[in-house]
């Protein structure tokens, strides 16, 4: 039902060309995974998500649980039926929301910090809006403030109703500000929860990935990878922060890859700006998701072969050329920078949609290019 085949291993790096087989088809790796939190890529319909070349999407257990609820989704035939998506799907476990709605919100930060910041978060501290216990996590609904609870067992139960091809273990995504002692305690919990997820899993059609944590503490990362690598997971996610520069990202993903079983697919969670693609592939990542293309598109930023462009800037209203002259997407074939920039400046939804379409096409195309480079022995 679930299988990972390595077609070629690079002689130059840890990069590998592979195919993941799932009940909903195959994924050629390395692959970029667009983020469809609530069962949609914002502004695109399902056909358009296919048209930009997406092989696999990642949806979110926490957010789908909040609305419309897993019962509704299950009744529609799982997320596949719910959104009429025929290709493979992943569901994130809700572990990231432990951070993003907790310490991330308290400190007004994301999981990537620019500078090497002081580790101010001490063992035993709790975020304001989220309560982390030994057994699970209490959240407040972003909609009505109602109390919600996720644990390894609850998350797996929901994920089985959502029916994605690949599930993730419920973990605690630690803050990049966590000190070593906090990280140790957090890891102990994440590892225990990993086994509970395996024990709770009933579905035979769905694969389950464990999530390696450890933040910027190299030793802890490697240890986490070894502990989880010894468990019966179908693949592995790399979670949390990966340091504050690209060199550290490369080092961390590389050493975690080395510590994991070679024949299992590896998913780098939430990393994937264009410049990260080769870094992830070279250090052994097979799939990776990132909100950047969709998130930035709605703010008017597009990614091109010449770098990022902020289309809200007045200068682009005058430019009659495509977003990226080297891009083969329908948006670049049809519309000008001037048009899309004007729409974005007027807050027209179509502007956000066209930018989203292009960005995703660009990201998927970039991943395809990387596969070609591995095939040709260039990466």
Partner RNA sequence: GCGUCGGUAGGUAAGUGGUCAAAACGGGUGCGCUGUAGACGCAUUGCCUCACGGCUUCGUUGGUUCGAAUCCAACCCGGCGCA
Active site residues: 92, 289
295 binds RNA (CB under 7 A): yes
Residue of 32, 82, 233, 296 interacting with RNA (CB under 7 A): 296
Strands 31-33 and 287-289: parallel
282 binds RNA (CB under 7 A): no
Give the whole-angstrom CA distance, residue 135 versus residue 73. Answer: 26
Shortest Cβ 376–RNA spacing (Å): 26
Name the segment binding RNA (CB under 7 A); options: 9-17, 133-141, 156-164, 284-292. Answer: 284-292
Give the whole-angstrom CA distance, residue 42 versus residue 87. Answer: 18
Residue of 84, 181, 349, 375 interacting with RNA (CB under 7 A): 349
Hey, which bits of the chain come out as E strands? 3-9, 16-22, 25-29, 31-33, 57-60, 89-92, 131-132, 137-140, 147-150, 166-168, 207-212, 235-238, 266-268, 287-289, 301-304, 307-310
Paired with 209 in beta bridges are 168, 235
Give the whole-angstrom CA distance, residue 56 versus residue 90. Answer: 7
Shortest Cβ 332–RNA spacing (Å): 20
Cβ closest to RNA, residue 75 vs residue 347:
347
24 binds RNA (CB under 7 A): no
366 binds RNA (CB under 7 A): no
Residue of 270, 278, 284, 322 interacting with RNA (CB under 7 A): 270
Name the segment binding RNA (CB under 7 A); options: 177-185, 193-201, 218-226, 347-355. Answer: 347-355
27 binds RNA (CB under 7 A): no
Q: Measured in whole angstroms, how far is the alpha carbon of residue 231 from the centre of its chain?
A: 22
298 binds RNA (CB under 7 A): yes
The per-residue b/e assignment along 30-43, b for 16 or more CB within 10 angstroms, e otherwise, is bbbbbbbbebbbbb
313 binds RNA (CB under 7 A): yes
Shortest Cβ 225–RNA spacing (Å): 15
Site for RNA in 153-182 (CB under 7 A): 168, 171, 173
197 binds RNA (CB under 7 A): no
Give me the phi and psi of 212, to 5 degrees please. -80, 130
Cβ closest to RNA, residue 29 vs residue 213:
213
Strands 131-132 and 89-92: unpaired
Shortest Cβ 29–RNA spacing (Å): 17
Do residues 232 and 206 touch, judged by C-beta distance below 8 A?
Answer: no
145 binds RNA (CB under 7 A): no
- Please measure the distance between the N-terminal and C-terminal CA atoms of the chain and give it in whole angstroms: 30
Structure tokens, 81: 């039926």
Do residues 112 and 105 touch, judged by C-beta distance below 8 A?
Answer: no
Residue of 2, 4, 32, 96 interacting with RNA (CB under 7 A): 96
Site for RNA in 34-53 (CB under 7 A): 35, 37, 41-42
Which residues form the interface with RNA (CB under 7 A)?
35, 37, 41-42, 58, 60, 62-63, 92-93, 95-97, 99-101, 104-105, 108, 110-112, 114, 142, 168, 171, 173, 211, 213, 237, 239-240, 269-273, 276, 289-292, 294-296, 298-299, 301, 310, 312-314, 345, 347, 349, 352
């Amino acid at each position: 039902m679930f299988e990972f085949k390595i077609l070629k291993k690079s002689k130059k790096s840890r990069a590998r060309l592979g195919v993941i087989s799932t009940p909903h088809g195959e994924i050629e790796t390395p692959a970029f995974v667009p983020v469809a939190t609530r069962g949609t890529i914002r502004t695109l319909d399902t056909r358009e998500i296919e048209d930009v070349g997406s092989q696999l999407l990642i949806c979110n257990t926490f957010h789908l649980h909040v609305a419309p609820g897993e019962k509704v989704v299950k009744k529609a035939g799982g997320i596949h039926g719910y959104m009429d998506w025929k290709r493979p799907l992943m569901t994130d476990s809700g572990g990231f929301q432990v951070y993003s709605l907790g310490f991330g919100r308290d400190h007004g930060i994301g999981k990537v910090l620019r500078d090497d910041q002081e580790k101010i978060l001490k063992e035993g501290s709790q975020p304001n809006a989220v309560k982390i216990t030994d057994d699970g996590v209490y959240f407040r609904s972003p909609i009505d403030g109602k109390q919600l609870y996720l644990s390894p067992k609850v998350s797996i139960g929901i994920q089985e109703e959502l029916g994605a091809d690949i599930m993730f273990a419920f973990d605690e995504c630690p803050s990049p500000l966590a000190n070593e002692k906090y990280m140790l305690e957090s890891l102990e919990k994440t590892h225990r929860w990993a086994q509970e997820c395996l024990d709770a899993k009933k579905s035979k059609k769905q694969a389950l990935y464990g999530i390696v944590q450890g933040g910027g503490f190299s030793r802890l990362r490697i240890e986490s990878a070894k502990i989880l690598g010894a468990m019966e997971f179908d693949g592995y996610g790399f979670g949390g922060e990966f340091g504050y520069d690209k060199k550290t990202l490369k080092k961390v993903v590389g050493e975690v890859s080395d510590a994991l079983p070679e024949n299992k697919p590896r998913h780098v969670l939430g990393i994937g700006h264009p410049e990260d693609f080769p870094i992830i592939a070279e250090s052994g990542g097979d799939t990776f998701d990132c909100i950047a293309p969709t998130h930035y598109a709605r703010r008017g930023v597009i990614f091109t072969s010449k770098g990022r462009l902020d289309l809200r800037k007045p200068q682009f209203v005058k430019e009659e050329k495509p977003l990226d002259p080297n891009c083969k997407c329908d948006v670049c074939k049809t519309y000008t920078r001037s048009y899309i920039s004007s729409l974005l400046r007027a807050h027209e939804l179509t502007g956000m949609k066209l930018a989203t379409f292009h960005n995703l096409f660009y990201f998927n195309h970039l991943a395809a290019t990387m596969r070609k480079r591995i095939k040709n022995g260039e990466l």
